[in-house]
Amino acid sequence: MSGSGRRGGGLLVAGTTSDAGKSVVTAGICRWLARQGVRVAPFKGQNMSLNSFVTREGAEIGRAQAMQAQAARVEPTALMNPVLLKPGGDRTSQVVLLGKPVGEMSARGFFGDAGPAGKPPSDTRSAGETQHGGRRASLRDTVVECLEQLRGTYEAVICEGAGSPAEINLRRTDIVNMGIARAAQLPVLVVGDIDRGGVFAQFFGTTALLAAEDQRLVAGYLVNKFRGDVTLLEPGLDMLRGLTGRGTYGVLPYAHGLGIDEEDGLRVSLRGAVRESVVAPPLGEDVLRVAVCAVPLMSNFTDVDALAAEPGVVVRFADRPQELADADLVIVPGTRGTVRALAWLRERGLADALARRAAEGRPVLGVCGGFQALGERIEDEVESRAGEVEGLGLLPVRVRFAHDKTLARPAGKALGEHVEGYEIHHGVAEVLGGEPFLDGCRVGSVWGTHWHGSLESDAFRRAFLREVAAAAGRRFTPAPDTCFGALREEQLDRLGDLIEEHADTDALLRLIEQGPPAGLPFIPPGAP
């Protein structure tokens, strides 16, 4: 790879569609390179997601990029995801620039000429501390400068695109697909999900809809989620090369149960969806059933992944009161719309079901927005602008929404065990009673906290599950050796294995180091 003082190599992983596998392929390439001793970093210029994370310097970035940083074995920073859009309903999103929120904006406003701007910091240590006034550099300049800073620090930067690079209606304002590839002259690898069908048409059509200057950067393709004998696919790959002049860099098999952090939302319908498809048998006599209320604008639903990794714990998402009836624990998760979630809980009859559970001493856990909803009262002139709203009244808590967002990485003790987490919220909670629980409180078998990620602390998770099992009357025993961090590392290694075993890694390395191959043909008609 590049030596000292040289700009590092790079690659853009694009996709024929959303959910083609860009995030996992990017993570897999990062883990494969890291295992080769390459200093590598992930990058996504613009992300739209309600699953976010807080870096050590207090910057908010997409959780997928934090996962990819872990795959690369580096600390995540705001440079890795300079623009994060957090949908809030009514066609608006909160814009998070270099780790800090800078306001709400409509889709038309964001993709038009005007928009918030910022200048990236001079080094990664202050990525989350940028001032957004003064100079009005364009978002594209901001994104490109962040990428260049990473390439000046790392030997390779693996960039993830968004949606499809052939979204011709957005080409003029693109800062995440071919726009960033053109600006940085990055080679582009296009990923297609063959499990959906039509992957050859997707590869050809994606290329043929790009302008000539963009097509010169499209080096080739990577097939994802293939089931069966790869030799049956090879004639099609040969024909694709004949049609486009571009080869296929690998065929990745369908892999079950990867369980990595997701970006845009649940991949399946929420009704009855199981968070993990395979549940290991319990150590005790009983399983433990967890129901997660599928509130609108649900954020950081990855909080329940650590529960789903426990032997004998079944996690499901629910949107009807009947689905809470046999649950041993009900979780009201985080949301970008607490007041909207409250209305939804009431409309669906879930609010009454939660009240009955609390009265019966059956466990309920509220996290972040879910914690706020369980309180007595909410004053919101920021998120929903609904003013004073009555909460569910299950916890002695009053919440006032502040304009400044809390972004923190707290640590503490609960149930006698060390706990770490992260906070992302505008609501400021005034706890008026109950037993202290992290930054929130507990009343009987109802718990509430603003801390995301707390259940990833192994000893605390086991203590919490013992409390839940006792309150639910279940003969459930938490596994003494489940280490969520180790399981996550195993999953990331599986992604690295997919790349190492099923991709042409020599060709990938040349692409990263040397850029797009010369002489790639133009495929008509090109962009209109």
Q: DSSP letters along 298-358, please?
A: EE-GGGGHHHHTSTTEEEEEE-SGGGGTT-SEEEE-EES-HHHHHHHHHHTTHHHHHHHHH
**What is the rounded CA–CA span in Å between residue 350 and residue 345?**
5
48: Cβ–Cβ under 8 A, 6 or more apart, which residues?
A: 84, 85, 86, 87, 93, 162, 264
Q: Which of 139, 183, 141 is nearest to 159 (CA)?
A: 183
Dmax over Cα atoms in the chain, in whole Å? 71
**pLDDT given for residue 172 in this prediction:** 83
**pLDDT given for residue 254 in this prediction:** 92
- Residues 342-397 have pLDDT tens digits of 999 999 999 999 999 999 999 999 999 999 999 999 999 988 889 999 999 999 99
Asked, for residue 451, whether it belongs to a domain, the answer is yes
334, 434: one domain: yes
Question: Of 425, 426, 450, 452, which is the active-site residue?
Answer: 452
**What is the rounded CA–CA span in Å between residue 40 and residue 38?**
6
Please say if the pLDDT value at position 268 is more than 90: no
φ, ψ at 316 (rounded to 5°): -130, 155
CATH code of the domain containing 151: 3.40.50.300
Please say if the pLDDT value at position 505 is more than 90: yes
144: Cβ–Cβ under 8 A, 6 or more apart, which residues?
A: 180, 183, 184
Model confidence at 140, pLDDT cuts 50, 70, 90, reads confident
220, 320: one domain: no
β-bridge pairing 329-332 and 288-293 = parallel
Please say if the pLDDT value at position 114 is more than 50: no
Asked, for residue 277, whether it belongs to a domain, the answer is no
230, 308: one domain: no
**pLDDT given for residue 119 in this prediction:** 41
Please say if the pLDDT value at position 198 is more than 50: yes
**pLDDT given for residue 218 in this prediction:** 98
Model confidence at 109, pLDDT cuts 50, 70, 90, reads low
| Pick from 264-268, 292-296, 422-426, 480-484: least confident | 264-268
Q: In this structure, what token pair is assigned to residue 102?
A: 């800078």
197, 123: one domain: yes
Please say if the pLDDT value at position 269 is more than 70: no
| Residue where the block lists tokens 């689905």 | 323
Asked, for residue 392, whether it belongs to a domain, the answer is yes
Asked, for residue 520, whether it belongs to a domain, the answer is no
Pair 44, 64: CB distance under 8 Å: yes
Asked, for residue 167, whether it belongs to a domain, the answer is yes
CA neighbours closer than 13 Å in the CB half-sphere of residue 178: 25
**What is the rounded CA–CA span in Å between residue 309 and residue 488?**
10
β-bridge pairing 46-48 and 83-89 = parallel
292, 244: one domain: no
324, 248: one domain: no
Q: What domain range is 227 assigned to?
A: 9-258+490-514
**Catalytic site includes residue 368:** yes
249, 106: one domain: yes
81, 120: one domain: yes
pLDDT over 70, % of the chain: 88
Model confidence at 132, pLDDT cuts 50, 70, 90, reads very low
247, 328: one domain: no
**Burial class of residue 47 in the structure, from the number of CB atoms within 10 Å of its CB (0-12 exposed, 13-18 middle, 19+ buried):** buried
**pLDDT given for residue 504 in this prediction:** 97
Pair 307, 313: CB distance under 8 Å: yes
339, 233: one domain: no
**pLDDT given for residue 270 in this prediction:** 42
**Which of the two residues, 265 and 169, has the higher pLDDT score?**
169
**pLDDT given for residue 108 in this prediction:** 58
**What is the rounded CA–CA span in Å between residue 419 and residue 436?**
14
Asked, for residue 521, whether it belongs to a domain, the answer is no
393, 498: one domain: no
CATH code of the domain containing 470: 3.40.50.880
Please say if the pLDDT value at position 121 is more than 80: no
Q: What does the mean pLDDT of the chain come to?
A: 89
Secondary structure letter of residue 525 according to DSSP: S
Q: In DSSP terms, which residues pair with 186 in a beta bridge?
A: none
Average pLDDT in the 474-486 region?
A: 94
Asked, for residue 273, whether it belongs to a domain, the answer is no
| Pick from 124-138, 205-219, 296-310, 494-508: least confident | 124-138
Asked, for residue 526, whether it belongs to a domain, the answer is no
500, 471: one domain: no
**pLDDT given for residue 104 in this prediction:** 81
**pLDDT given for residue 110 in this prediction:** 55
Question: Of 368, 426, 441, 502, which is the active-site residue?
Answer: 368
136: Cβ–Cβ under 8 A, 6 or more apart, which residues?
A: 117
**pLDDT given for residue 215 in this prediction:** 97
- Residues 148-166 have pLDDT tens digits of 999 999 999 999 999 999 9
Total domain count, the chain: 2
**pLDDT given for residue 272 in this prediction:** 44
**Catalytic site includes residue 452:** yes
- Residues 3-47 have pLDDT tens digits of 444 678 999 999 999 989 999 999 999 999 999 999 999 999 999
Please say if the pLDDT value at position 146 is more than 50: yes
Distances (CA, A) of 414 to 51, 418, 514: 25, 7, 52
